[in-house]
Chains A and B, each alone.
Chain A
């Protein structure tokens, strides 16, 4: 007899796509009132499995057992009717509508059969929110509220449709650390109320913080299901990647030399003309990693864009190896020895429809050996690419594979290969591990440390305190466009966190 407490069981789910088995006989069960984490690297099959559960895919083999009875879902509508709610990574909300309207959408209380009874909708939403202790303004328009709030709206939407199983797909990917904390508080309440939650993630610390049990997937197969008690980050990382992973970078003490990057009194405006970087000055010397810590949106992007030549500074000077590059073109700055790992590899770092060979040539296509007199030599691009792809261990394709076919980690390796392959003196690394899984993070970190050890100046912009603390030789904290503090690598996470919020404790939302 099946366990009474098991509300959902996936038995031997297999899902094939042309040329690939995304899920290979995966079994998974969910008990009442538990948070069950689904952990795995990008492409391990987590999202496919949940899409099978949500009726978006039909499994090739295996069955879904809900409350002891086998079911077959043909559409998300089916799944919703069976009490399964899903919060996608990208929210499915209508920005111009209010919170209450979004929540009742598709199941609106109506007057005279056709008119939305807004007062009733509002009342129901408030009652629902109160019963779970959510703080939410039903009359706010979704476009005016923060990401964390929007996620709460998504969760309420599922609850409103009487979901008792909630699937959260990488819910913290879009949240600040504070917002993630608030989300966990909400999940704890839901768990107490008897909800069953599937928590998809590739972040080890989160999974350990919230889950009761953890199922690890690797390359479409289930590796193991372990209870949270006794699980460690190192053990989970090993299950996930299939080998030992160094979670903390090992590095020698720095031996800094001459300053290679110098920024003096820099002021930068954003697209709307607002001053986002306010009189910032700092140096990065050869052979050191300087990290810029801060909460997203405090001027980091504008600062990096100004240094790389993508945005013209309003005032101040930027020097690379002693030479003034202020106001120079992107190409000139690249040629002066600045490498740049952009914060958004898909939007900026890669031309996704270009082949890897073409992407790797993005800075060097216009001079020999890639071209001469304006004529391009594709075979030389391919040869150069093959060498780089091997050196940086890029998997999932060859020089003629389009970049879009690669996983996120391998895409980032391509960007790294291009930037580090030119052996720049200064490396700007903006959120270089965003969205990557542990294996790829380890690779990127090692590359940054190696660049430092070869005497490069590495300027790291990161939102992850853990990353900042494990990589940086010096830490600068940016808040509202100003550098508000400089710390050594042994500063505590709390101290940094306080500086990042402007020295004040963050007000509760």
Chain B
């Protein structure tokens, strides 16, 4: 019998006799959207309580102020603004953050799908930034497009190598990737800080007594700004690189043999090995691909708006990679989830930045803390997402139990 392209039958259609695992799986999938939403709402609720207790202000008006600070209000049809348009500038910042967060989250998510926890986004980001800045300085005679492509490729490769080290250690001697990636973060921080304040220190800046910073990249290596002004840190094309990376992530995982292998190893390494997949080699590949996402994130920031690499970028701004962990987990390592989680965290970062928040509403030095409280809660709750699931189920059990009683 030939049946061309009939829609595959749903599980429910078939003989309904699910086991415990099946039911759990169903709950998990139901919780797929519920848990992140509940988690986020709860985090905002607690954040609101903190606002109320500390400042005595109405949390809702504070949140509205933060929302306005993100620039997302620019999208509302009734908002108008003069030139230069404040909300537009803020939204550009939010989208810049989204670019970086998406890529660093993908660095966590891809490894996660292979059963690995890549904490090393920071180090991979730093190496990517270093590769991008050097490539951007060196090949100044190149035309713009090849120069940018070369610099991004160099950054991706640098991130891949850096993460690949951890993958190789895992594959050969079984070193746990959490430990090795954390150590590689510090290695990257110190080595690149040394480079920036020594061999790569821009002589002009050093002469002027400025803090450690490299030379700026050539004009040809800079990403074109598509919205706003390059002088005001406008939005560059990196956003599309990040969106393309999201799509690429989905395609690689779901439409390639490599993705199949990565998922098989991540879900059950024993079965993968039995099926003939070289598990150790896939660990290395998955780490390398993860690292290339983080490396690209570094390149986007350097080529897009920083244009040079300075000490603070290496030691503190690079920590944005850690937020990538939260984004990946809150987004449940799915393409769509990462996008929205990334947008949430990017908006929080911009909305509470001192520049965007009205100091009369909330003391700016506290606003950053509020963001961290919300972020911290989300991370905590994501980690405890089974607990949230449990409470969700308990609520439903309670409802079911009440129903027959009410009926009788």
Query: Contact residues of A with B, CB < 8 Å?
Result: 17-20, 43, 58, 60, 219, 308, 310, 329-331, 334, 340, 342, 347-354, 358, 361-363, 365-366, 371, 374-376, 378-379, 382, 386, 395-402, 404-407
Contacts and interface: CB of A to CB of B under 8 A. Distances in A.
B276 interface: yes
A19 B14 contact: no
Query: Closest 4 interchain pairs by CB?
Result: A331-B276, A405-B22, A362-B275, A398-B9
A354 B18 contact: no
B253 to A, nearest CB: 10
A369 to B, nearest CB: 13
A354 B267 contact: yes
Interface stretch (B87-95, B131-139, B257-265): B257-265
Contact of B255 (A58, A376, A402): A376
Contact of A58 (B259, B268, B401): B401
A352 B268 CA distance: 8
Residue among A43, A308, A331, A362 with most chain B CB within 10 A: A362
B22 A404 contact: yes
Contacts of B8: 382, 386, 398-400
Nearest to B271: A351
A219 B256 contact: no
Given A340-B274, A371-B257, A354 B17 contact: no
Interface of B: 5, 8-19, 21-23, 25-26, 254-260, 263-264, 267-268, 270-278, 401, 404
Contacts of A20: 16-18
Nearest to A371: B257
Contact of A376 (B12, B14, B259, B274): B259
Contacts of A340: 274
B256 A329 contact: no
Contacts of A375: 255-257
Contacts of A362: 264, 271, 274-276
A43 B273 contact: no
B257 A402 contact: no
B270 A348 contact: yes
Residue among A363, A378, A401 with most chain B CB within 10 A: A401
A419 to B, nearest CB: 11
Contacts of B16: 19-20
A60 B15 CA distance: 22
Contacts of A310: 273-274
Contacts of A329: 276, 278
Contact of B11 (A18, A361, A386, A397): A397
Given A365-B260, A407-B17, A401 B11 contact: yes
Contacts of B12: 19
Contacts of A331: 276-278
B255 A398 contact: no
B81 to A, nearest CB: 47
A272 B61 CA distance: 64
A120 B257 CA distance: 63
Nearest to B264: A351
Residue among B9, B15, B22 with most chain A CB within 10 A: B22
Contact of B273 (A330, A358, A361, A365): A330
A363 to B, nearest CB: 6
A219 B25 CA distance: 22
Given A347-B271, A362-B271, 10 more contacts: A18-B23, A43-B17, A60-B404, A330-B276, A331-B277, A348-B271, A351-B268, A353-B268, A371-B257, A375-B255
Nearest to B397: A58
B11 A376 contact: no
5 contacts: A18-B23, A20-B16, A347-B271, A350-B268, A400-B9
